[in-house]
C-alpha cells in the first residue's frame, strides 16, 4: 500500500468529483428506491465544492480539511455531515506532515471510519456507508493495497442489497429496503475507487 502526497490527495478529490458526476443519476436512483432521491445531487454539490476548495491546500491534512468543510456546508441531509466528519477526522491524524506514509494513510482512514460510526451511531450491517468502509479497511489491515480496498468496498456496497436498514431513511421501510443497494455505500465505494486511482497500489 502506498502513502499519500499532497498532489495525490488533491487528485483523490478531483477524481471523486468526476466519479460522482458520472454516477450521479445512479446514486439518485438508488436513493429514490429507499430514500428521498437527493443523494446524487447532494454528493455532486459536495464533491464539486471540495474539488474547488482544495486548490490552495499545501498538505494532505489541509486537503482533507477543505473537503470536509465543503461537504459540511454544501450537502444537506445525512451524508454531508457524515462525510464531513470522516474527512475532518482523517485530517486530524497527521495535521502537519507534508506527505503521509502508508501507515499515516491507513490511520487516517481508520480515524475517518471511527468518526462516521460515532457521528451516525451505526454499526456495520446496518445498510449504510459503513458497509463499504469496513471491508475496505479490513482489506488494508490484512496487507491489501488500495486497489484491494476499492474492490472490497465495491463488494460491501453490493452486499448491502441483502440487508435491511437500521439507520437513516431506509430504516423506515423495513423489509422493503431489501433488494436495494444503499446509496451511501455506493458513493463510499466511489471514494475508495478514487483513492486507488489517485494513490496507486
Ligand atoms: P438523506 O437521507 O438525509 O437524504 P443522503 O441521501 O445524502 O441523506 O444520504 C443517505 C445515506 O446516508 C444512506 O444511504 C446511508 O448510507 C447514509 N446514512 C444515513 N444515516 C446514516 C447513519 N446514521 N450512519 C451512517 N450512514 C448513514
Ligand atoms: Mg437522500
Ligand atoms: Mg435528503
Query: What spacing in Å lies between the alpha carbon of 51 and ligand 1's midpoint?
Result: 22
In the block, residue with C-alpha cell 490484512:
142
Count of structural domains, the chain? 1
- Is the pLDDT at 189 greater than 60? The verdict is yes
Q: How far is the CA of 55 from the centre of ligand 2 (A)?
A: 28
Q: Is 156 in the pocket of ligand 1 (CB under 6 A)?
A: no
Q: What dihedral angle (degrees, nearest 10) is formed by the CA atoms of 17, 21, 25, 27?
A: -10
What mean pLDDT, rounded, does the chain reach? 97
99-100 vs 4-5, strand pairing mode: antiparallel
Ligand 1 pocket: which of 46, 75, 86, 184 to mutate (most atoms within 8 A of CB): 184
C-alpha cell at 191: 471514494
**CATH of residue 195:** 1.25.40.340
The set of residues, in sequence order, having a beta carbon less than 8 Å from that of 3 and lying 6+ positions away, is: 99, 100, 101, 102, 103, 104, 105, 199
pTM: 0.98
β-bridge mates for residue 99, sequence order = 5
Instruction: Provide the residue range defining the domain that includes 66.
Output: 4-199
Q: What are phi and psi of 4, to 5 degrees?
A: -145, 120
Q: Residue 201 — pLDDT band, cuts 50, 70, 90?
A: low
- Identify the helix (H) or strand (E) that includes residue 49: helix 39-53
Closest by CA to 134, choosing from 103, 113, 105, is 113
Tens digits of residue pLDDT in 13-49: 999 999 999 999 999 999 999 999 999 999 999 999 9
How many A from CA of 23 to the centre of ligand 1? Answer: 17
Report whether pLDDT(60) > 60. yes
135 Cβ contact list (under 8 Å, min separation 6): 152, 153, 155, 156
Q: Which residues pair with 4 in a beta bridge?
A: 100
- Measured from the Cβ of residue 101, the count of other Cβ atoms closer than 10 Å reads 14
Handedness of CA 6, 80, 167, 162 (dihedral sign): negative
Scanning 144-199, the segments in alpha helix (DSSP H) are: 146-159, 183-199
Share of the chain above pLDDT 90, in %: 97
The answer, yes or no, to whether any atom of ligand 1 lies below 6 A from the CB of 42, is: yes
- Cell 478531483 identifies what position? 14
Is residue 192 over pLDDT 80? yes
**Model confidence at 76, in pLDDT bands (50, 70, 90)?**
confident
CB atoms closer than 10 angstroms to residue 92:
16
Q: Which helix (H) or strand (E) holds 84?
A: helix 79-93
Amino acid at each position: 500500500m502506498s502513502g499519500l502526497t499532497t498532489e495525490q490527495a488533491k487528485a483523490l478529490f478531483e477524481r471523486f468529483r468526476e466519479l460522482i458526476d458520472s454516477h450521479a443519476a445512479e446514486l439518485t436512483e438508488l436513493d429514490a428506491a429507499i430514500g428521498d432521491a437527493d443523494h446524487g445531487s447532494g454528493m455532486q454539490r459536495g464533491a464539486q465544492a471540495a474539488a474547488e476548495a482544495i486548490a490552495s491546500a499545501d498538505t494532505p491534512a489541509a486537503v482533507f480539511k477543505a473537503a470536509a468543510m465543503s461537504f459540511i456546508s454544501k450537502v444537506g441531509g445525512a451524508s454531508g455531515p457524515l462525510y464531513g466528519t470522516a474527512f475532518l477526522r482523517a485530517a486530524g491524524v497527521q495535521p502537519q506532515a507534508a506527505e503521509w506514509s502508508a501507515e499515516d494513510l491507513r490511520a487516517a482512514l481508520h480515524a475517518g471510519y471511527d468518526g462516521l460510526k460515532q457521528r451516525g451511531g451505526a454499526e456495520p450491517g446496518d445498510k449504510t456507508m459503513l458497509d463499504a468502509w469496513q471491508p475496505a479497511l479490513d482489506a488494508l489491515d490484512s496487507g491489501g493495497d488500495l486497489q484491494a480496498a476499492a474492490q472490497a468496498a465495491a463488494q460491501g456496497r453490493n452486499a448491502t442489497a441483502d440487508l435491511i436498514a437500521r439507520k437513516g431513511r431506509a430504516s423506515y421501510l423495513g423489509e422493503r429496503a431489501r433488494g436495494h443497494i444503499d446509496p451511501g455505500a455506493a458513493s463510499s465505494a466511489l471514494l475508495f475507487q478514487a483513492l486507488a486511482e489517485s494513490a496507486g497500489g
